[in-house]
């Protein structure tokens, strides 16, 4: 269940932050990976 919540949060954040960087799909993927890593280190 934690991985699902983590994926939803990282996906939402990547959509919000990745779209503003102007890097397109690649930027969104990078933001998703960074958010996934940060959330896993926080224990979410």
pLDDT of residue 22: 65
> What is the DSSP annotation of the chain?
-HHHHHHHHHHHHHHHHHHHHT-HHHHHHHHHHHHHHHHHHHT-
pLDDT of residue 21: 61
In which domain, by residue range, is 14 found?
2-42
Q: What pTM was computed for the model?
A: 0.77
Phi, psi of 2 (to 5 degrees): -65, -40
- Phi and psi, residue 36, nearest 5°: -60, -45
Q: What pLDDT is stored for residue 1 in this prediction?
A: 82
Under 8 Å between Cβ of 39 and 21: no
User: Per-residue pLDDT tens for 1-44?
Assistant: 888 988 998 988 888 887 666 667 888 888 899 999 998 998 87
What domain count does the chain have?
1
């Amino acid at each position: 269940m934690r991985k699902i919540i983590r994926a939803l949060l990282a996906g939402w954040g990547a959509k919000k932050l990745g779209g503003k960087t102007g890097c397109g799909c690649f930027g969104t993927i990078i933001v998703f990976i960074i958010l996934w890593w940060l959330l896993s280190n926080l224990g979410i």
